[in-house]
Amino acid sequence: MAEKNNSIARLIITLTIIGALGALFLAGVYEWTIPHILEHEARARERAIMEVLPEVDYYEEATHNDRIFYEGYDENDNFVGVAVSLRGGGYAGEIEIMIGSDPYAREIINIFILNHQETPGLGARITEEEFRENFENAPFSELEIVRRTPEEPQEIEAIAGATMSVEAVKNIVSRVGDVISEHYGGGS
Amino acid sequence: MARYFAIFKNGLWNENPIFKLIIGLCPTLAVTNTVVNGFAMGMATGFVLISSEIVISLIKKFIPNDVRIPSFILIIVTFVTFTDYFLGAFFPEIADALALFIPLIVVNCLILGRQEAFASRNPTRRAIFDAVGMTVGFTWVLVVLSAIRELFGFGTLAGVDIFGAGYTNMIIMILPGGAFLTLGVLVGVLNLLDRKVGSDNG
């Protein structure tokens, strides 16, 4: 019996030591890599903001209800628009989109896909310029997917073979009107 | 030295993880739609395999038999987490492309299998040759597989255009279905080759 206890103690001690050493090592790795990881994220975000608010020279962060809004200004300190990142479910995982908008004209300026897990060659085509152009000057309202060349500003041209991904992007972007209006006034 | 080389060569062909042992197929099927992804997955898996084989062959005497599998897993998890953070910090494009398949290296049975079958029963020097051989064997099949899929799926090889703008992409090759088709044919062809070479020698 004593021997049995002994061996159980030994099992626990072995696993504890391995776990503790592993955790110690990883704590060091975390300290070492996290500044680089955060920097990449910040750079990707900044690039996205510049992309969705083309005339912006600098931007300021404003937080309302735990949501960060990036308010962009041009060289002459004129207000250009607000960028905000929204996320939602896509076909294969979550899609995160930076959306630039003009809260007073109540329209979308441009969008940029920050993160997605969509199928390469199909759903991943939502990141292409040609698809993103659909959203330029789209109004703050429920957008519509069409299978022909769009004629109205709220119409988005579908991508063949990527119905779910396009639908997901449309749904996420359609929410931006409500999110922006909540803090920048307007609303019908 | 010849003995060590034999261990190394083992992973390249005779006990190739993919077309002989048929293990480690989750990343094999999932990420091999471009050559760059296939190669990066091979390297990431190889790093974890080599590091954990070294550590486990070094400390095998201290690990009680009853908890050897959980101990192996703890050690593998440590190296996988390291790889995840390392790629995120220094190779963000690769980290984005491989995304959740990096953490999933933990459950790649190639890695656990080699600890159980080799590292826990052999001296460190032999374990290193085994790990490197398995890494090269795993990676070359991933690269061949992803080259076929990328060529037909995108008309490119490692991002270089091969078939020209007029080529219509075979979407199926990029999707999981294409992975199963290509892997099945590839394993068949390689085993046919193996049998032919074997019978010629014998």
Is B120 among the domain residues?
yes
Residue A72 structural domain: 50-184
Q: Where are the beta strands (DSSP E) in A42-176?
A: 58-64, 67-73, 79-89, 94-102, 107-115, 144-146, 155-157
**CB pair distance less than 8 Å for A29 and B33:** no
Q: Is A167 part of any domain? A: yes
Closest by CA position to A184, among listed A93, A114, A81, A87? A81
- Inside any domain, residue A21: no
Residue A6: the pLDDT is 61
User: What's the gap in Å between the CA of A84 and the closest CA on chain B?
Assistant: 22
Answer yes or no: do A121 and B174 touch at CB < 8 A: yes
- Report the domain count for chain B: 1
Per-residue pLDDT of A168-188, as tens digits, reads 999 999 999 888 888 887 544
Tens of pLDDT, residue by residue over A67-120, are 899 999 988 888 889 999 999 998 888 999 999 999 888 899 999 998 888 877
Q: Which of A15, A32, A119 sits opposite B67 (nearest CB)?
A: A15
B13 inside domain: no
Q: Is A113 among the domain residues?
A: yes
**Interval A18-26 mean pLDDT:** 97
How far apart, in whole angstroms, are the C-alpha atoms of residue B48 and residue B134? 12
CA A49 to chain centre: 11
* B18 is a domain residue: no
Domain extent, residue B98, equals 2-7+27-201
Interface confidence (ipTM) of the complex: 0.84
Residue A91 lies in a domain: yes
Binning pLDDT at 50, 70 and 90, where does residue A2 land? very low
B168 is a domain residue: yes
Q: Establish if A85 belongs to a structural domain.
A: yes
Query: DSSP strand E in A121-165: where?
Result: 144-146, 155-157
Q: Write down the pLDDT at residue B79.
A: 97
Report d(CA A151, CA A109) in Å as an integer: 17
Convert chain B into a string of H (helix), E (strand) and C (coil).
CHHHHHHHHHHHCCCCCCCCCCCCHHHHHHCCCCHHHHHHHHHHHHHHHHHHHHHHHHHHHHCCHHHHHHHHHHHHHHHHHHHHHHHHHHCHHHHHHHHHHCHHHHHCHHHHHHHHHCHHHCCHHHHHHHHHHHHHHHHHHHHHHHHHHHHHHHCEECCEECCCCCCCCCHHHHCHHHHHHHHHHHHHHHHHHHHHHHHHHC
The answer to whether the Cα torsion of A146, A150, A152, A153 is positive or negative is positive
Q: Does the structure show a pLDDT above 90 at A122?
A: no
The predicted pLDDT at position B93 comes to 86
Q: What is the mean pLDDT of residues B21-43?
A: 88
Residue A109: inside a domain: yes
The three-state secondary structure class of A6 is helix
Supply φ then ψ for residue B21, to 5 degrees.
-85, -20
Q: How far apart are CA A161 and CA A184, in angstroms?
A: 37
A74: Cα separation from own chain's centroid: 23
3-state secondary structure A15-51: HHHHHHHHHHHHHHHHHHHHHHHHHHHHHHHHHHHHH
The pLDDT tens digits of the residues spanning A125-169 come to 898 888 998 998 889 888 888 888 888 888 888 888 888 999 999
Give a yes or no: residue B180 inside a domain: yes
Interval B126-178: pLDDT, tens: 999 999 999 999 999 999 999 999 999 888 898 888 888 888 888 888 888 89
Is residue B58 within 8 A of residue B178, CB to CB? The reply is no
Out of B66, B77, B86, name the one closest to residue A11 (CB): B66
Distance separating alpha carbons of residues A137 and A50, to the nearest angstrom = 17
Q: Kindly list the residues from chain B whose CB atom is less than 8 angstroms away from the CB atom of residue A25.
A: 78, 82
CB of A120 less than 8 A from some CB of B: yes
Q: Is residue A79 part of a domain?
A: yes
Of A14, A32, A161, the CB nearest to B64: A14
Say if A146 falls within a structural domain: yes
Q: Which residue of A6, A7, A10, A29 is the best one to mutate when testing the B interface, meaning the one whose CB has the most B CBs within 10 A?
A: A29
Task: Please name the residue of chain B whose CA is at the shortest distance from the CA of residue A38.
Answer: B89
Domain count, chain A: 1
The residues with which A70 forms a beta bridge, in sequence order, are A61, A83
For A:1-40, CB contacts with B below 8 A are 7, 10-11, 14-15, 18-19, 22, 25-26, 29-30, 32-34, 36-37, 40
- Under an 8 A CB cutoff, do B174 and A7 touch? no
